Amino acid sequence: MSKAYLKGALHDATERKYTFRLCQKQQAYVEFIANLVRKLGFNAWTYKEGKTRNVYIVEFSKKILDSFEIQTRQDKIDYIRGYFDAEGSVPRKKLGFQYIYIAQKSNQELLELVSYLNELGIACGKIHVPSTKKPDYWRFYASAKSRKKFIETIGSWHPEKSQLLGKMI
């Protein structure tokens, strides 16, 4: 299991004083993250938020990523996979054109991500602002010609997204 994946997935998390807190609708994904943290030798706790909400939480110590840096090719793959699982998407309905994209408020983070993808031979579209209503929200697509390579190299460990990517091949 990989600290790099966890670092990528944390782009959808809240940072507290001593812990990271990741929220998801899919309980299976929250349990997956908790098990990943435990396999890395740290404790994680999960719970459902509220009685009527379908929101699940996993929390764990920030110490897990102390002094961790992305260095290897595998680190980059795992980091992108975690980032995609947190901030990426594919269409749920089968439309005429299938696409893979990642969106985020930080243009700088997306530049780094595109750089890693390019190093891996995965072409990406231009980083752009998709809506004038959200001028601080950025997005890029994996190029249609690189879609298969993205799926085979990066893929997803998110239960729902991995199924959607599998249908695209």
Q: Domain tally for the chain?
A: 2
Q: At 153, which CATH number? A: 3.10.28.10
Assign 91 a pLDDT band (cuts: 50, 70, 90): confident
Is 153 found in the same domain as 114? yes
Domain that holds residue 109: 73-168
What is the value of pTM for the model shown? 0.93
pLDDT single digits (tens) 149-160: 999 999 999 999
Is 80 found in the same domain as 161? yes
Is 160 found in the same domain as 112? yes
User: Could you give the C-alpha distances from 70 to 3, 73, 156, in angstroms and in order?
Assistant: 9, 9, 18
**Residue 36 to residue 3: CA distance in whole angstroms:** 9
Q: Say whether pLDDT at 105 is over 80.
A: yes
